[in-house]
Amino acid sequence: MNCGARDITLFCLLELLVGGTLAQTEEPAVPVAQVDAAKKAKDLFDRGKYFEAEAIYERILKVAPDNVYVLSNLGATQFRLQKFTLAENTFKRALAIAPNDELCHCTLGIVYYFQRKLDDSIRSLSRALIINPDNSTARDYIMLAADQKESGNEARVVITRPPIISGSGDFLTPLEKSRLRVPRTSPPPLTLPGEYR
């Protein structure tokens, strides 16, 4: 199985565990004793039970405080709970450990966008694009942030609906996204970049 730093998942990590020791990856691995808790938190996240997932990720961090996988998933959970300042701080903490984590840079850029920190958003999203030039989510949000800056629309983003999710429980497909019409002054749906870890 090809488990690169960009697309490592908990399932890849489980395959990399050998004899109770942690596999060496570019990201800190989930300690063996925390694998079941991490799987449960991810399942809760996938089912939209963000408060419960957040509590589990925070418990795991007490045991493994420098775990980028857990930090990034906690940040994503806080983002979904619209705890933008907490999500920002969590992603910054993850990036202090793994400064080349594309997903953390991209998601931090989205968090900044929703906080109306447009310069920071563009900067973080640009870093994600330097790491992976094919990151369409980062490109889309850079255009949105640049458009907001250009229009001078400094009105605060008000989130009036939950994230848009397709019927299968996955994020919208590119075709579904292309059918959405978002006025220039409206924020995009509260979504994360692709499938989250």
- Quick one: pLDDT at residue 147? 87
CA atoms lying within 13 Å on the CB side of residue 85:
0
Q: How far is CA 183 from CA 21, 142, 147, in A?
A: 51, 16, 11
- Quick one: pLDDT at residue 30? 81
Structural domains of the chain ordered from first start: 10-179 (1.25.40.10)
**Quick one: three-class SS letters along 26-90?**
CCCCCCHHHHHHHHHHHHHHHCCCHHHHHHHHHHHHHHCCCCHHHHHHHHHHHHHCCCHHHHHHH
φ and ψ of 175, to 5 deg: -65, -45
Distance CA 140, CA 175 (A): 14
- Quick one: pLDDT at residue 2? 36
Q: Going residue by residue through the chain (197 aa), what tens digit of pLDDT does each one get?
A: 333 333 333 333 323 322 332 233 333 368 888 888 888 998 999 999 999 999 999 999 999 999 999 999 999 999 999 999 999 999 999 999 999 999 999 999 999 999 999 999 999 999 999 999 999 999 999 999 988 887 765 443 433 333 444 344 444 444 444 444 444 444 555 666 655 56
- Quick one: pLDDT at residue 152? 63
- Quick one: pLDDT at residue 119? 94
DSSP 101: -
The single residue listed with the structure tokens 């594309």 is 102
Strand partners of residue 18: 21
- Quick one: pLDDT at residue 21? 29
pTM of the model: 0.66
